[in-house]
Structure 1
Amino acid sequence: MIQEEALGWVIRTRDPEFADWDAFTLWLEADPAHASAYDAMMLADSELDGITPPEPVAMPVAANDPGVPSRRPMRWIAGGAVAAALVATVSIAVLNRSDIYSVTTKPGEVRVIALDDGTTVEMNGGTTMRFDREDARFAALDAGEAAFTVRHDAANPFRVTVGDDVFEDAGTVFNIVHTSDATRIGVAEGKVIYNPSAEAIALPAGRGLADDAQGLRVMDVAPAAVASWRQGQLIYANAPVTQVAQDAARSLGLSVQFTPQAGLARFTGTIRLDRDPVRFFAEAAPLMGLTAVRQGDGWLLKEGPK
């Protein structure tokens, strides 16, 4: 996201009619990473010298270092074809960065990633993450669930990017779930800062945060329930059955559906995460006051007797 925004600013600020320097300055000063990304995009731009006009027009540029106003000449290139060439060049470079790599687990698979800084990331099934070979203090959770045991470094905090949000470690053990319609985090030890450059919500041990259809909210969580899937348990406090179904599907590697009525139910308690689906649902469904019916390769949770 930052690289894309920086590329947009490079293209816009090269326009001789560009005048929104105040907005550009605010963007640069909102996050130190913005200036670095902008410089990287400008460097890519400089590699297109062969197709620039011989006498570029000088234009003012807002501060490129947070809090330190500066002015420097900036060239511009007229014509959409050249701008398109820059977009293509930079986009390909970003996509082909050899230092960024992805790791994906299949549903039902668990994988442990040991980062060079001493941090451990345990990925649950059906999860996709990105890491940076050049920066062991970065991770991005694109989908699924992961538990983090972070080596704290106040001078260089560990950050997890989840969509447009950032979770910053303050010496901690935490678990994040990210799906198409919700993001949830629970903190077992230490503290996590949610969006440190915006809301800056502090989540100490025993606190959690959810961002879903009901909005953004903070709640209490039992530290033992955080990433309990690692110990072969699923622990809930007044959780919707829809969440239980998603968690079971992720850990067991199968499809779990529910009827509209069953989806309204909520559950408090502990379910043993038996890897045998028949045994799992034979125990879990009655605990939730529901019935589980096998349907092909998946299961259906419904209300009432079989």
Structure 2
Amino acid sequence: MNRAQAMMNEEALGWVIRTRDPEFDDWDAFTIWLEGDPERAAAYDVLMAADADLADMVPAEPVVMPVAANDPGVRRPLRWIGGGAIAAALVAAVSVGLLSRSDIYSITTRPGETRSIALDDGTRIELNGGTSLRLDRKNARFAALDAGEAAFTVRHDAANPFRVTVGDAVFEDAGTVFNIVHSGDATRIGVSEGKVIYNPQAEAIALPAGRALSDGAEGLRVMDVAPQAVASWRQGQLIYANAPVGDVTQDIARSLGVTLAATPGARAMRFTGTIRLERDPSRFFAAAAPLMGLSAIRQGNGWLLKEGDGSQN
């Protein structure tokens, strides 16, 4: 491990320790730190996934530093002092025992490929195409969606909720079937059964069945969604209600495994309806493009969606 990696691990551990404090409220600084380097979120996720291991290593009660008789300063818990002896020892232990351990593993699917995973706790995860997911062999109640789309059918356990981290966001189940899409800096979730809590330690937005949330360039938005539309790709169809065609384009590319782009005008349009997936791209676009009020043009090995019905092409 190089010096830069070691420093990042130490910083990540410091944030884990601080965010575990019930009185922690400096979420803006934490977000700025995460956004400074894409690898920071991964390091933080691994440490948070090892929460049970850290609980054994960190004292349940803060260790109080002694204060000299002539020192009027306030006593501070050693547990929260960055760079202190305990923090340094934890960094060393985590670096060797957690960040490099084989228990954290990744599962990926190619565009157009799907995969179903059964976890030991009874939870089932279904991955759509072009998806990357991390799991922990020691903690069946953790998943990290790095990119793509996954549907979760979670066995509820109020004492040990299932958590999915997506970038710097956390989704916590409350007995749930839900679908998450993560692409670039944008995240979408729809809930078809039960309830999901978005960022339980921050915004704590409750999403019951029939509700969806998007977090992207337009900010955080909560909206209604038809339960049957959630993870509809599993039934070979994509169902939308007033969805941006830009999102629809990404979903099609992921599900079919095709290279697909759209003109700015097409991306800005919105679509309501059901698109049936068809493995033959020519047949698929012949039916789907007119349904969206668009035309589809083959471009090399990919396709382009543009405004109009294609009568002039």
Q: Above 0.5 in TM-score?
A: yes
Residue 11 of structure 2 corresponds to residue 8 of structure 1: yes
Q: Which amino acid aligns with 1:280?
A: F
Alignment correspondent of 1:155: 159
What one-letter code is carried by the residue in structure 1 that aligns with 2:77? A
Question: In the alignment, which residue of structure 2 is the partner of 1:47?
Answer: none
* Alignment match of 1:62 (pick from 77, 80, 99): 77
Equivalence map 1:225-236=2 (5 Å): 225-236=229-240
Q: Which secondary structure does the structure 1 equivalent of 2:286 belong to?
A: helix
Contact 2:116 2:127 in 1 (8 A): yes
1:33-52 aligned within 5 A = none
C-alpha deviations, 1:170-219, integer Å up to 9, x for none? 00100000010310000000000111111111000000000011100110
**2:165 is the alignment partner of 1:185:** no
| Corresponding residue to 1:278 among 267, 279, 282 | 282
Number of aligned residues = 267
Q: Call closer, same or farther: CA 1:10–1:197 in 2, change over 3 Å.
A: closer
Alignment partner of 1:127 is 2:120 = no
Instruction: Give 2:148's aligned residue.
Output: 144
Quickly say closer, same or farther: Cα 1:5–1:260, change in 2 above 3 A.
Answer: same
Structure 1 unmatched ranges of 5 or more? 13-23, 44-56, 66-70, 78-82
Structure 2: any 5+ residue segments left out of the alignment?
1-5, 25-46, 60-64, 68-74
RMSD (Å), alpha carbons: 3.4
Equivalences for residues 199-214 of structure 1 within 5 A: 199-214=203-218
- Alignment check: 8 A CA contact 1:150 1:158 kept: yes
More displaced 10-residue stretch of structure 1: 25-34 or 212-221: 25-34
Aligned to 1:290: 294
Which residue of 1 is the match for residue 22 of structure 2? 29
Show CA shifts across 1:4-41 (max 9, x none).
887238789xxxxxxxxxxx867633589698676688
Q: Would you say the 8 A contact 1:6–1:41 is kept in 2? A: no
3-state SS, counterpart of residue 266 of structure 2? helix
Change (3 A) 1:262 1:27: same
Rate the CA distance shift 1:219–1:10 in 2: closer, same or farther, 3 A.
closer
Residue 261 (str. 1) matches residue 276 (str. 2): no
Task: Give, in angstroms, the shift of residue 63 of structure 1.
Answer: 6.8
Could you tell me the TM-score, scaled by structure 2's length? Answer: 0.75
Task: List structure 1 runs of 4+ shifted beyond 2 angstroms.
Answer: 3-12, 24-43, 57-61, 74-77, 85-95
2:234 partner SS:
helix
- Partner AA of 2:182 in structure 1: H
- CA gap of 1:296–1:263, structure 2 versus 1, over 3 A, is same
Partner of 1:291, secondary structure, is: strand
Question: Which of 301, 304, 310 pairs up with 1:300?
Answer: 304
Distance change (3 Å), C-alpha of 1:9 and 1:134: closer
Distance 1:75 1:245, change over 3 A: closer
In the alignment, the residues of structure 2 paired with residue 30 and residue 178 of structure 1 have an alpha-carbon distance, to the nearest angstrom, of 30
Please state how far the C-alpha of 1:95 moved relative to its aligned partner.
Answer: 3.5
How far has the Cα of 1:86 moved from its partner? Answer: 9.2
- Tell me by how many angstroms 1:75 deviates: 3.7
Percent pairwise identity: 66
Q: Which residue of 1 aligns with 2:110?
A: 106
SS of corresponding position for 1:29: coil
CA distance in 1, matches of 2:290, 2:211: 29
- Which AA in structure 1 matches 2:156? H
Counterpart position of 1:221 = 225
Is the partner of 1:218 in helix, strand or coil?
strand
Q: In structure 1, what residue type is equivalent to 2:11?
A: G
- Separation in 2, partners of 1:196, 1:11: 20
Aligned residue identity for 2:224: D
* Partners of 1:209 and 1:112 in 2: CA distance: 24
How far is 1:58 from its partner? 8.2
Tell which structure's C-alpha radius of gyration is larger. 1
Q: Counterparts of 1:9 and 1:270 in 2: how far apart (Å)? A: 44
Q: Structure 1 residues 36, 89: closer, same or farther in 2, change over 3 A?
A: closer
Report the secondary structure of 2:10's partner residue.
helix
Task: Say if 1:6 and 1:37, in contact at 8 Å, map to a contact too.
Answer: no
